[in-house]
């Protein structure tokens, strides 16, 4: 028999987590939950953060799940240097200008002043382009499909943990191809891989499409992106995939002899996601009680809490320990919290705040009935499961948590995606409700610039499928192109 009831905690037990409710002040909630749950902390240097073990574990889970997809689609990992000579960056002015306000420079090595300044990589196109020009000689060397997991430095003025920090971690794929078509195919394949990864593993629904010229990566022919809506109604760019065309291959002289023995410049792509994804998981799923992690990336998927009543160390603890071993054997990430200095109630709200998807409680009475109580973090529902069948039921329960989080986020996205035909309507939606606004855009940059200036909203993506006609939301000229607008992080 399954018993369902709301899990209620006493007021005192609620106090342990002491975070500002998300519904009251989203920004404060975000920063507080990151500190309280020990995901990250501010470093002594401005704009930098320390990713603590609990936060780093999410990144490691993201890495391993995405790395698998990157490798399955034929790419291999490599590692390029952190420093890039200034002349490499200068070769490509558009690229350098795009990044120059954010580049950190090394001017001295030991006591010696360097003859040439070294940039701390803001991205690796320049150094990789230089190496590819040595490695690629013939069409037989193509395609080159390389990815690197690395750290990046961009000197940001305004920072927020995980979303924008001076140093961050990411993966950057850099590929070289024989033709434009092949490079475009790769760019779109990666875009779709990112979408599938983010939706299935992080349970965050996204919209995807092309970026406008204004929002394009410096030096790229086309930039594509996936964007998600956070609970405060602001959009977050979750990943980008660029078709670089022959721009960098001409600058770095990456040529190959084609199948007709003619010299050609290669066609390139680059693409990346970063530790920003951790911020997205926090913002998209958290609630007033704290974090809610999707099981597939949760650092701890299941926490077992023995109820310390009576002679619990003899009656309860051995069963809890046995359960921990069994669950670990099945491959789950499990924690058993048998600490005596904290009450079970304190632990309940602590692990709720930390976003652990499933809690198993076992007390003396449960042992008598050969059962344990499980509490889902997504719905906070409680039910009793027999200890005999528990191993078989856990996978389904955790899948349920994963699906609920995705469904809730999808519902949120739908409820907060609006359409606007008129500029006044557009502005009033942004003032009152935010979210995504689907609207037609004439394609002119001055319209895009004015919209940003007047409403702080930008074009997040231009969806690839376009089959409608309308009028530009600002200038009312005819347009066959609708886009997603939003205020963004
Ligand atoms: Zn217009």
Ligand 1 centroid to 387 CA: how many Å? 64
Ligand 1 centroid to 227 CA: how many Å? 23
Give the pLDDT mean for 34-53: 95
Ligand 1 centroid to 484 CA: how many Å? 14
Given a cut of 80, whether residue 4 has pLDDT beyond it is no
In degrees and rounded to multiples of 5, residue 465 shows phi and psi of -90, 115
Ligand 1 centroid to 222 CA: how many Å? 21
In 3D space, the residue among 440, 437, 448 whose CA is nearest the CA of residue 214 turns out to be: 448
Ligand 1 centroid to 457 CA: how many Å? 14
Give me the torsion for CA of 214, 219, 224, 227, rounded to 10°. -60
In degrees and rounded to multiples of 5, residue 341 shows phi and psi of -80, -5
Given a cut of 60, whether residue 435 has pLDDT beyond it is yes
**Are 142 and 264 spatial neighbours (Cβ–Cβ below 8 Å)?**
no
- 478 vs 367: CA distance, rounded Å: 71
Ligand 1 centroid to 476 CA: how many Å? 6
Read off the pLDDT of residues 105-163 as tens digits, 9 standing for 90 and up: 999 999 999 999 999 999 999 999 999 999 999 999 999 999 999 999 999 888 899 99
Ligand 1 centroid to 57 CA: how many Å? 46
Interacting residues of 357 by C-beta distance below 8 A, sequence separation 6+ = 292, 293, 294, 295, 298, 301, 302, 376, 377, 378, 398, 401, 402
The full DSSP string for 192-206 is: HHHHHHHHHHS----
Q: How confident is the model at residue 2 (pLDDT cuts 50, 70, 90)?
A: very low
- β-bridge mates for residue 263, sequence order: 257
Read off the pLDDT of residues 177-204 as tens digits, 9 standing for 90 and up: 999 999 999 999 999 999 999 999 999 9
Ligand 1 centroid to 442 CA: how many Å? 4
- 181 vs 267: CA distance, rounded Å: 9
- In this prediction, residue 42 carries a pLDDT of 94
Ligand 1 centroid to 413 CA: how many Å? 26
Ligand 1 centroid to 188 CA: how many Å? 27
Given a cut of 90, whether residue 307 has pLDDT beyond it is yes
Ligand 1 centroid to 477 CA: how many Å? 6
Ligand 1 centroid to 433 CA: how many Å? 23
Report cis status (omega within 30 of 0) of the bond before 21: no
Residue 360: exposed, middle, or buried by beta-carbon count in 10 A (0-12, 13-18, 19+)?
buried
Given a cut of 90, whether residue 94 has pLDDT beyond it is no
Ligand 1 centroid to 226 CA: how many Å? 24
Give the pLDDT mean for 56-79: 98
Ligand 1 centroid to 99 CA: how many Å? 29
Ligand 1 centroid to 237 CA: how many Å? 24
- As given in the structure block, the two tokens for residue 226 are 């996936």
Given a cut of 80, whether residue 16 has pLDDT beyond it is no
Q: How confident is the model at residue 99 (pLDDT cuts 50, 70, 90)?
A: confident
Write the CA distances from 306 to 128, 222, 289, 367, 372, integer angstroms. 54, 55, 22, 11, 10
Radius of gyration of the chain (CA): 26
- Tell me if residue 118 falls in helix, strand or coil: strand
CB atoms within 10 A of CB 472: 21
Angle at 465 between CA 460 and CA 471, to 5 degrees: 70
Given a cut of 70, whether residue 64 has pLDDT beyond it is yes
- Three-state SS letters, 390-446: HHHHHHHHHHHHHHHHHHHHHHHHHHCEEECCCHHHHHHHHHHCCCEEEEECCCCHH
- Tell me if residue 112 falls in helix, strand or coil: strand
- In this prediction, residue 428 carries a pLDDT of 95
Ligand 1 centroid to 439 CA: how many Å? 11
Read off the pLDDT of residues 327-383 as tens digits, 9 standing for 90 and up: 999 999 999 999 999 999 999 999 999 999 999 999 999 999 999 999 999 999 999
Ligand 1 centroid to 212 CA: how many Å? 13
Q: How confident is the model at residue 95 (pLDDT cuts 50, 70, 90)?
A: confident
- β-bridge mates for residue 84, sequence order: 119
- 372 vs 363: CA distance, rounded Å: 8
- In this prediction, residue 91 carries a pLDDT of 86
Ligand 1 centroid to 328 CA: how many Å? 58
Q: Which residue has the tokens 């689907």?
A: 438
Ligand 1 centroid to 443 CA: how many Å? 7
Ligand 1 centroid to 351 CA: how many Å? 50
- In this prediction, residue 126 carries a pLDDT of 93
Given a cut of 50, whether residue 12 has pLDDT beyond it is no
Do β-strands 5-6 and 381-386 pair in parallel, antiparallel, or remain unpaired? antiparallel
Ligand 1 centroid to 453 CA: how many Å? 14
Ligand 1 centroid to 423 CA: how many Å? 10
Mean pLDDT of the residues in the chain:
94
Ligand 1 centroid to 95 CA: how many Å? 28
Ligand 1 centroid to 445 CA: how many Å? 8
Ligand 1 centroid to 430 CA: how many Å? 18
Ligand 1 centroid to 472 CA: how many Å? 5
- 421 vs 175: CA distance, rounded Å: 40
User: Residue 342: CA atoms inside 13 Å, Cβ hemisphere, count?
Assistant: 16
Ligand 1 centroid to 461 CA: how many Å? 16
- 404 vs 412: CA distance, rounded Å: 12
- Tell me if residue 213 falls in helix, strand or coil: helix
Ligand 1 centroid to 478 CA: how many Å? 8
């Amino acid at each position: 028999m399954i018993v369902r009831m709301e899990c209620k905690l006493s007021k005192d037990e609620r106090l342990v987590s002491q975070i500002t409710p998300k519904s009251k002040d989203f920004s404060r909630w975000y920063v507080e939950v990151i500190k309280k749950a020990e995901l990250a902390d501010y470093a002594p240097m401005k704009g930098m953060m320390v990713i603590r073990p609990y936060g780093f574990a999410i990144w490691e889970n993201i890495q391993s799940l995405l790395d698998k997809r990157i490798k399955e689609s034929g790419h291999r990992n490599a590692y390029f240097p952190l420093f890039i000579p200034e002349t490499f960056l200068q070769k490509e002015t558009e690229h350098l200008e795009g990044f120059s306000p954010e580049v950190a420079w090394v001017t001295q090595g030991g006591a010696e002043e360097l003859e040439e300044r070294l940039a701390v990589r803001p991205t690796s196109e320049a150094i990789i382009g230089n190496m590819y020009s040595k490695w690629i000689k013939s069409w037989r060397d193509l395609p080159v499909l390389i990815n690197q997991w690395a750290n990046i430095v961009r000197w940001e003025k305004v920072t927020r943990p995980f979303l924008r920090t001076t140093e961050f971690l990411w993966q950057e794929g850099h590929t070289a191809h024989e033709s434009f078509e092949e490079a475009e195919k790769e760019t779109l394949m990666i875009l779709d891989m990112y979408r599938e990864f983010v939706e299935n593993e992080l349970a965050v629904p996204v919209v995807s499409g092309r970026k406008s010229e204004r929002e394009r990566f410096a030096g790229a022919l086309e930039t594509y992106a996936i964007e998600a809506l956070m609970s405060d109604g602001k959009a977050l760019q979750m990943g980008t995939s660029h078709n670089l065309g022959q721009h960098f291959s001409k600058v770095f002289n990456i040529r190959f002899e084609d199948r007709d023995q003619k010299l050609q410049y290669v066609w390139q792509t680059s693409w990346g996601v970063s530790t920003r994804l951790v911020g997205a998981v926090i913002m998209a799923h958290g609630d007033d009680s704290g974090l809610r992690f999707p099981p597939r990336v949760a650092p701890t998927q299941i926490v077992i809490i023995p109820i310390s009543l009576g002679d619990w160390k003899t009656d309860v603890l051995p069963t809890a320990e046995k359960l921990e071993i069994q669950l670990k054997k099945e491959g789950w990430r499990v924690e058993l919290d048998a600490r005596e200095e904290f009450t079970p109630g304190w632990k309940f709200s602590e692990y709720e705040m930390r976003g652990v998807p499933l809690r198993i409680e076992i007390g003396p009475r449960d042992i008598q009935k050969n059962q344990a109580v499980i509490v889902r973090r997504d719905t906070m529902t409680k039910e009793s499961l027999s200890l005999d069948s528990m191993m078989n039921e856990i996978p389904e329960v955790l899948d349920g948590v994963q699906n609920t989080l995705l469904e809730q986020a999808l519902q949120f996205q739908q409820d907060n995606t609006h359409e606007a035909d008129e500029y006044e309507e557009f502005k009033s939606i942004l003032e009152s409700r935010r979210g995504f606004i689907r609207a037609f855009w004439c394609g002119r940059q001055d319209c895009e610039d004015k919209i940003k200036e007047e409403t702080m909203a930008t074009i997040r993506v231009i969806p690839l499928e376009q089959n409608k006609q309308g009028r530009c939301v600002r200038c009312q000229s005819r347009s066959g192109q609708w886009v997603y607008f939003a205020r963004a992080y």
